[in-house]
Amino acid sequence: LNCVVTLTESRARTLAEQADAEIAEGGYRGPLHGIPWGAKDIISARGYPTTWGAAPFENQSFDVDATVVERLDEAGAILVAKLTTGELAFGDNWFGGRTNNPWDPEQGSSGSSAGSGAATAAGLVGFAIGTDTGGSILSPAVRCGVVGLRPTFGRVSRYGVMAAGYSLDKIGPMCRTAEGCAVVLHAIAGPDGKDMSVPRGVPFNWDGEADLSALRIGYFASAFEEEQSRRSEEDRANAAATLSTLRGMGFSLEAVEIPRNDLTYFIEYVERAAGFAEFARSGQDQGLRRQNHRGELRVSQLVPAVEYLQANRIRMLLMEELAQALEGIDVLVAPWRSINPLTSMTGHPVVAVPNGFTEQVTPTGIAFMGSIYGEDTLLAFAKAYQEATGFHERHPVL
């Protein structure tokens, strides 16, 4: 699968022995105690390289654990590997090649949380942590047939993690189930005093048995129709079947229209270019595998500040328009691509969930979007859908 950059063997062995001893003595820390996990390799772990998936940074390391690593240590989880990321968090190609899909190794796993999706789907780890700026959790989750949660912007501290787009970056779990995502999010969410985008006083409280009968569920009607001209027949059929399943579960679905805009990538590339300006100017970007990545970093430096600021003014208007369109709606159901750019900008939580397979036995997925800091309701809804369908119980043959 080509999904591991570095095995954290020494650290894992130490933590595993510690977990065994604690559990034997009755010191059980909770559901993540002793569970192996993997970190996307833009997340720093002390004592190991953090390569950002790029050859120029292959030997880079930081003498710090990212906040997400610290919190999972505290929960008793065991970091076993740094997992592949597309170079500088672009795509699924890294300096060691392409990350392959467990369902069909002739295909890529998508990215940029490529290794996180592939390793979780293959059962190499109990869960993985990915990052998402413009779809980097959602896309590999769909391609690899796992559940990927892109939480609300500011839900999880990004301290110790490479910045791709500082106003867009989020950190989230990739698991086999929505319930697994809830367990991991509970461990990693909340302020640390280091990432000022994370507010205080907004706890994540998970109730997997919550009563969902009163929820108002919307669906992005025109997106389902448009997908018919853009997606495979099997993908379209699985999307339609998702709506039928939800109605069969007793939900009344309301047709909703939300604004459309793909300013996300404009904003992301400008912010990324600012962060890597010296890297590009110094010529170190010649070490990147993909020529288009070099071009994007350089061209985006030429964008006038006025245009970047205007884009963010439009972004604020889109946030207001989306809030009005979704007033009273608890969860929105949509093909994931149709809401990915907009929700990347607005910061709403989105979870990608498997919703079937193609004839070639590759997974398809659907997206559920929640309200800001509404991951509790969102994941409870996704859990109910998974229990009604069972697609997560099917695993790739390796």
Residues 140 and 287 in one domain: no
Residues 272 and 349 in one domain: no
H helix or E strand, kind and range, residue 78: strand 78-83
Per DSSP, what are the bridge partners of residue 331?
A: 217, 370
pLDDT higher than 60, residue 115? yes
Say if residues 345 and 168 touch (Cβ distance below 8 Å). yes
Residue 194 DSSP class: S
Q: How much of the chain exceeds pLDDT 70, in percent?
A: 99
* pLDDT value for 290: 85
Q: Which of 138-152, 168-182, 252-266 has the lowest mean pLDDT?
A: 252-266
Domain edge (last residue) among 311, 339, 374? 311
Say if residues 89 and 42 touch (Cβ distance below 8 Å). yes
Residues 254 and 294 in one domain: no
Average pLDDT over residues 325-344: 96
CA nearest neighbour of 163 among 56, 264, 84, 275: 275
CA nearest neighbour of 186 among 13, 353, 68: 68
CA nearest neighbour of 135 among 144, 124, 147, 148: 148
pLDDT higher than 60, residue 228? no
* pLDDT value for 229: 55
pLDDT higher than 70, residue 230? no
Dihedral angle sign, alpha carbons of residues 182, 141, 101, 236: positive
Summarised one tens digit per residue, pLDDT across range 49-94 is 999 999 999 999 999 999 999 999 999 999 999 999 999 999 999 9
H helix or E strand, kind and range, residue 220: strand 217-220
- Whether 227 is covered by a domain: the verdict is yes
- Whether 159 is covered by a domain: the verdict is yes
Residue 61 DSSP class: B
Helices (runs of H) and strands (runs of E) counted in the chain: 13, 15
- Whether 374 is covered by a domain: the verdict is yes
- Where in the sequence numbering do the catalytic residues fall? 40, 112, 136
Residues 279 and 389 in one domain: no
Residue 204 DSSP class: -
Say if residues 173 and 127 touch (Cβ distance below 8 Å). yes
Residues 294 and 373 in one domain: no
- Whether 59 is covered by a domain: the verdict is yes
Q: Domain count of the chain?
A: 2
Say if residues 340 and 140 touch (Cβ distance below 8 Å). no
- Whether 251 is covered by a domain: the verdict is yes
Kindly report the number of other CB atoms within 10 A of residue 273's CB atom: 19
- Whether 83 is covered by a domain: the verdict is yes
Residues 228 and 357 in one domain: yes
Residue 251 DSSP class: P
Average pLDDT over residues 249-268: 94
User: Could you tell me the two tokens for 359?
Assistant: 């004839």
Question: Crossing angle of helices 305-325/336-346, nearest 10°?
Answer: 110
Residues 269 and 257 in one domain: no
Distances (CA, A) of 109 to 92, 164, 206, 265: 7, 20, 30, 21
Q: Domain of 206: which CATH number?
A: 3.90.1300.10
Cis preceding-peptide flag for 136 (omega within 30 of 0): no
User: Could you tell me the two tokens for 227?
Assistant: 């997908």
Residues 270 and 379 in one domain: no
Domain edge (last residue) among 311, 342, 375? 311
**Nearest-5° angle of CA 185, CA 186, CA 191?**
90
DSSP secondary structure string, 252-285?
PEEEE------HHHHHHHHHHHHHTHHHHHTTGG
Residues 214 and 277 in one domain: no
Domain extent at residue 221 = 4-262+312-393
- Whether 398 is covered by a domain: the verdict is no
pLDDT higher than 90, residue 231? no
Residues 89 and 220 in one domain: yes
Q: Using CA atoms, how far apart are residues 146 and 143, in angstroms rounded to an integer?
A: 8
CA nearest neighbour of 83 among 46, 37, 123, 122: 37
Residues 243 and 358 in one domain: yes
With 0-12 / 13-18 / 19 or more C-beta atoms within 10 angstroms meaning exposed / middle / buried, residue 304 is: exposed
Residues 136 and 235 in one domain: yes
- Whether 247 is covered by a domain: the verdict is yes
pLDDT higher than 80, residue 255? yes
* pLDDT value for 56: 98
CA nearest neighbour of 208 among 248, 242, 180, 188: 180
pLDDT higher than 80, residue 339? yes
> Residue type at 123?
G
Cβ partners under 8 Å of residue 333, min gap 6? 217, 218, 219, 220, 242, 243, 246, 253, 366, 367, 368, 369
Average pLDDT over residues 210-231: 86
